[in-house]
Structure 1
Amino acid sequence: MSYVEPSYSRDMRYISTRITADGAGGYPVEASRYRLVVARACPWANRAVIVRRLLGLEDAISMGMCGPTHDERSWTFDLDPGGVDPVLGIERLQDAYFARVPDYDKGITVPAIVDVTTGQVVTNDFPQMTLDLSTEWTAHHREGAPDLYPEALRAEIDEVNALVFKDVNNGVYRCGFSGTQEAYEAAYDRLFSRLDWLSQRLENQRFLVGDTITEADVRLFTTLVRFDAVYHGHFKCNRSKLTEMPVLWAYARDLFQTPGFGDTIDFGQIKEHYYVVHSDINPTQIVPAGPELGGWLTPHGRESLGGRPFGNGTPPAPPAPGEHVPPLTITN
């Protein structure tokens, strides 16, 4: 698959239909009607997996899991028996896109929310999707669910999210898929300048905005957790490893050890996706054996900064049956 271009630009044209409490757009919030289709490898999908866990929406929204690799046509359900999603009855996610838009010509992306009653994709607008899970699905939140998008902090969360998306979440891709030295170095400089800025911001506060976990922390975490395993080498983001950036490394470990974060991470699938699918960058498709992962479970010391991870709420229950990830492989 070919991704490389002189200066990488992400296609942000998504199906922007929203599922809302009032159903104004034709899709009302309704338990058991929708299926969230994700892949553990994908950082954008990982956001939705985390938010669904933190809010306790497992019983309201089922989750379909694509495998870590895909071809130019579509993500596939190769982890399921017979390669067919057991709820939607399809082998390829593209079938749900084409059911909604027969001539759909944009990316077949995860996460996507599918209307089980029609088999049609409702939305793949990943930035809005998690905000709506927080604000529109409140009737189905678990008791003790955290407020990930508190109204009083939304302007600041939005501002931080915009900077993190531009320079970090998408910045690593701009490094990896740059087609010229100049474009790569510009993206590299922006990435590490923003990581330095984030280190300063987090040096004396436990979370990105306020004293609890918010949407901003979810969005940064899914990039940081992939940094050493993929982005440092595969995408040439190699000024520093995450483990060599003390504040961000401690912050990432703090979140990883928080229920709902680390228990959604499958490093094996993450590495397989990037190193196999991006054959322009890694033509041998050899998947690295490292890095060693035991450090993710070491003490982080961030409790000394105070803060209340779930605010007035409580941690989520353990992952639902069938949604567990493999335990970390730790070498001595």
Structure 2
Amino acid sequence: MSTGSGHAPQIDAGGALVPRDLAQTADGRAAAARRRRRSRHRAPWEEPASPLGAVVKFLVLAGVVLAVLIPLWTVVLTSLSTQAETIRVGGLVTVPGELTFNAYRQILSGGIVLRATLVSTGITAVGTVLSTVVSVLAAYGLSRPSSLWHRPLLFVFLVTMFFGAGMIPTYLLVSNLGLIDTYWALILPGAVSAFNVLILRNFFMGLEPAVLDAARIDGAGDWRILARVVLPMSRAVVAVVALFYGVGYWNAFFNAILYINDNAKWPLQLVLRSYVLQGVTLPGSGVGQVDVATGAVTGLPVKMAVMVLAIVPILVVYPFVQRHFTKGVIFGAIKG
């Protein structure tokens, strides 16, 4: 007996004939049930967005991107403009006009800005390596249950997160150690962050104990286990902690205000603060000087060029670490 193509019978699991429309309804219900079961195992943000939700997300993200790019575009464009162009528009430049690299040539041709850039680069490189190494060693020691006094030392680390000695005792300590007017005064007072140590410790505690035990059975000591087993498995969280330290050292200026009296040893952020916020002109800075090529004063473009010089290194380094950022922070925060 033949039926229409839309109602051809099907055979169910028991061998009985089932009309096609009923079979399609049952298949649809089964598929919906499977989708519901999968959705229970997914986070809310992993669910497919509705058309209205997609539009709202696009508009919000577009607004955030514009809020970041428009000020950055204005700063970069002003740094590439002449003083005459900034006077013509009455301040910051938003539409390209007469462009020149004179501001960058001034700040990179010598003087305090170039010297401050080298100081910040050196402090960031040395400080990041030192802080990351010390934090990894401290976190690994605190994560091993068999390590000596690991619980009292962990309590000491936790206390430092909520209570500090204060500015004056810290200054007296730095002064008694003979670090005033030295670059070590910009590194050692904040060399270790208890928060970063706890992130690393939590991650190390979440590593599979069987892997560490297998390495120990093979004859590896603590140093070799840390170097050959733990660190290769912890690249994401170590990269994130190194990024935290690097950004902190690069953006720091308050320690320089307290401990550095010689402006030749100022980091770039303190020079930037003096130029942009306080309007101070230092010898050899290039701010307020006359541009030889145009005869115009290049104050505002040079200030914006210093800002760009302070922003670019972080923008260059961050994309290489960004892929580890979410993974490292989440693992270090919730595991253990």
TM-score range, shorter chain: under 0.3
Relative CO higher for 1 or 2, CA cutoff 8 Å, sep ≥ 6? 2
> Which protein shows a greater Rg?
2
Larger helix fraction of residues: 2
Larger strand fraction of residues: 1
